[in-house]
Amino acid sequence: MADSLYLELTDFEHDVHTGIYSEETGKPQPLRFTVRAKLKEKRFYDPETPLEESKNYMDLKFACSEALGDRHYKLIEAVADHVCETLFLQDGRVEQVQVKIVKLALSERNEQIGITLTRDRP
């Protein structure tokens, strides 16, 4: 059985310009991101393995924040798509990305309303 390595960012909140309704446009909305990036298998990680042999975890956070810029995304599906493509472009070792986005402004009783997109490298 082969090993799998996933880098994860969980419950990261960032304001993003998104939405289609008048009350949503013109101001950023708080979104909660959970991202998993599957890397190509490496057989062993010993105590002296350098960072270049894996991926910097902060790249996941960057893909959910600064990489989105100030652009308006009508759908959170487009936000998730942009996160996936950013991670694929950053590193050829990323085989699969899963992005879960929760729209925090829609929650009335702590329910989580959003989407999960899983994409394999094309």
Q: What is the CATH number of the domain that holds 14?
A: 3.30.1130.10
- Cα-to-chain-centroid distance, residue 3: 22
Compute the distance between CA of residue 13 and CA of residue 39 in angstroms, rounded to an integer: 24
Residues belonging to the chain? 122
Tell whether the model's pLDDT for residue 120 goes beyond 70. Answer: yes
pLDDT in tens, 3-17: 888 999 999 999 999
pTM for the model = 0.90
Q: What range defines the domain where residue 60 resides?
A: 5-120
What would the two tokens of residue 94 be?
A: 């990323």
What is the number of domains present in the chain?
1
Q: Degrees (nearest 5) of the Cα angle 87, 72, 121? A: 20
Give how far Cα 2 sits from Cα of 40, 44, 46, Å. Answer: 11, 12, 18
